[in-house]
Amino acid sequence: MKKYDVIIVGAGPYGIFCAYELIEKDPKKKILLLEKGNKISKRICPKRTTGKCINCNPCNITCGFSGAGAFSDGKLTLAKQETGGNLSELIGVDKTEELIKRMDAIYLKFGADPALHGVDNKEKIAEIRKKAIQADLKLIESPIRHLGTEASYEIYGKLEKHLKDNGVTIKFNTMVDDIIVKDGKVEGVITKDKDEYLSSTVVVGSGREGSAWFKEICNKHNIESVPGTVDIGVRVECRDEVMKELNEAMYESKLVYYTKTFSDKVRTFCQNPSGEVALENYTLPNGKHLTTVNGHAYKGDKYKTENTNFALLVSKNFTEPFKEPLEYGAAIASLANMLAGGTVLVQSYGDFKKHRRSTPERILTGNVVPTLKDAVPGDLSAVIPYRIFEDIVEMLEALDKVAPGIANNETLLYGVEVKFYSNKVIIGKDCQTSIKGLYSIGDSSSWTRGLSLASSMGLYVADNILGLEKND
């Protein structure tokens, strides 16, 4: 049987929540979920035992059931706007809030920790905000539900079983190569192995890993899209003591700064108290391999480290005639990989400012023991464009007023961190693209940047497919 009511490409949080909602509301629907990676029990990263990344293709950290969510820290950001994507711009704040509540309830049903961070400690948060204001930083408050890396894996495992038990057909190790379009309507998909699956409703949620692939699909089939923002920066790592006040009050402090020199927006992103810096691997449609950085934290004490990490990202928007933000980010990441011999670089902030290469010996003079052993001590300032370099320095100096010590020489910077969601797909309020029956949301569409909104969008798209949303 190769004809389905709905075909979903990509079993990330977005695809999972879309399938979940479809099958909950209409158990008779024939749903096919196609995923190029492995089922969750087979998603084994060799680095966890050998300590070395061997560049699996597809990468087991970013691909497979639950996508980039499986080994993510699993911080569900429950704020209805300003974080994790632009859903509220599309469907309004009230609808976004409703979807976030429903999405959160599903995570709780499948075993998420009921504890919420960032909702108590009002006095402490007010003190932090005061310091932030003095440093020209904007503090965005958000309730955070921390699933934790190991618990995320279990929750998504239960969701995989639930979908299968309820009749969703899931095909792993199946990469979609192309979509079939005729007379402006979608008719199905073609896999890399040349199998055809037919449906008049196709939902693409290929994530950041698959955003370059989907950009090619957009170009080929004239699916309307525009260059979006590209986020480039570094992963910062310091001792927990430096971030203690922020970690305890909020778990994740979202701080935004507009630089004095260039008026660029720089923000903190994905804070991981007692966490680890991690590698993230991408294979581009031209076969080129890229390694970037990310971070996560386990919930249980057993795996906790003594370091906090978070990303500092500079949001870059380009104007005519430039239309290739994805390639721009990829070029910077590949320069770092080139200097690091195929992996990522680490540098102390002191060396970064002096534009000199860090050495293992000099890194050892500080208190911070790097948690990412694969990173090669080097010179990130030889990789990062001057403007982004200045933005990072200004942001760290501002942050130092909120978390004293963060701008000390010993703070480690890993690079580069790039978010590949810079092909913004034009969609209607019902989330359909310019091709009838083709829906594209999640991180690959550039409308979301995190678990919470990607999962919420999955629910929303399902409701639209089922005709449960009024979008006039």
CA gap 13, 199 in Å, rounded: 22
Binders of ligand FAD in range 181-240 (CB under 6 A): 205-210, 213
Closest distance between ligand FAD and the C-beta of residue 135, in Å? Answer: 25
13 binds ligand FAD (CB under 6 A): yes
What residues contact 208, with CB distance under 8 A and at least 6 apart?
62, 68, 282, 419, 420, 421, 443, 444
State which H helix or E strand residue 154 sits in: helix 149-165
CB atoms within 10 A of CB 278: 25
116 binds ligand FAD (CB under 6 A): no
442 binds ligand FAD (CB under 6 A): yes
The residue among 118 and 207 lying less far from ligand FAD, judged by its C-beta, is 207
CA gap 81, 140 in Å, rounded: 10
264 binds ligand FAD (CB under 6 A): no
296 binds ligand FAD (CB under 6 A): yes
Tokens of 213: 């692939």
Closest distance between ligand FAD and the C-beta of residue 272, in Å? Answer: 8
From 23-31, 61-69, 103-111, 218-226, span contacting ligand FAD (CB under 6 A) = 61-69
443 binds ligand FAD (CB under 6 A): yes
Among 68, 139, 181, 395, binds ligand FAD (CB under 6 A): 68
451 binds ligand FAD (CB under 6 A): yes
CA gap 307, 297 in Å, rounded: 10
From 46-54, 218-226, 301-309, 442-450, span contacting ligand FAD (CB under 6 A) = 442-450
From 67-75, 114-122, 194-202, 299-307, span contacting ligand FAD (CB under 6 A) = 67-75
63 binds ligand FAD (CB under 6 A): yes
Decide the pairing of beta strands 423-425 and 412-419.
unpaired
Number of residues located near ligand FAD, criterion CB under 6 A: 47
CA gap 8, 35 in Å, rounded: 9
Closest alpha carbon to 417 in 288, 268, 302? 268
Annotate 412-453 with DSSP letters as a single string.
Answer: EEEEEEEE---EEE---TT-B-SSBTEEE-SGGGTSB-SHHH
Among 74, 157, 366, 437, binds ligand FAD (CB under 6 A): 74
Binding mask 121-160 for ligand FAD (x = CB under 6 A): ----------------------------------------
With 0-12 CB in 10 A as exposed, 13-18 as middle and 19+ as buried, what is 471?
Answer: exposed
With 0-12 CB in 10 A as exposed, 13-18 as middle and 19+ as buried, what is 5?
Answer: middle
Give counts: helices (H), strands (E), the chain.
13, 22
273 binds ligand FAD (CB under 6 A): no
The residue among 43 and 239 lying less far from ligand FAD, judged by its C-beta, is 43
**371: which DSSP letter?**
S
Greatest alpha-carbon span in the chain: 65
10 binds ligand FAD (CB under 6 A): yes
The residue among 47 and 296 lying less far from ligand FAD, judged by its C-beta, is 296
Among 38, 96, 291, 294, binds ligand FAD (CB under 6 A): 294
CA gap 271, 308 in Å, rounded: 7
Among 452, 461, 462, 465, binds ligand FAD (CB under 6 A): 452
CA gap 108, 266 in Å, rounded: 32
From 316-324, 327-335, 376-384, 450-458, span contacting ligand FAD (CB under 6 A) = 450-458
Among 64, 325, 370, 377, binds ligand FAD (CB under 6 A): 64
Closest alpha carbon to 12 in 211, 231, 192, 301? 211
Binding mask 29-48 for ligand FAD (x = CB under 6 A): -----xxxx-----------
Among 72, 253, 307, 464, binds ligand FAD (CB under 6 A): 72
Closest distance between ligand FAD and the C-beta of residue 173, in Å? Answer: 9
Closest distance between ligand FAD and the C-beta of residue 124, in Å? Answer: 22
CA gap 424, 235 in Å, rounded: 24
Tokens of 420: 């590949």
270 binds ligand FAD (CB under 6 A): yes
14 binds ligand FAD (CB under 6 A): yes
Which residues lie near ligand FAD (CB under 6 A)?
9-15, 34-37, 58, 62-64, 67-69, 71-75, 77, 84, 175-176, 205-210, 213, 270, 278, 280, 294, 296, 442-443, 448-452, 454
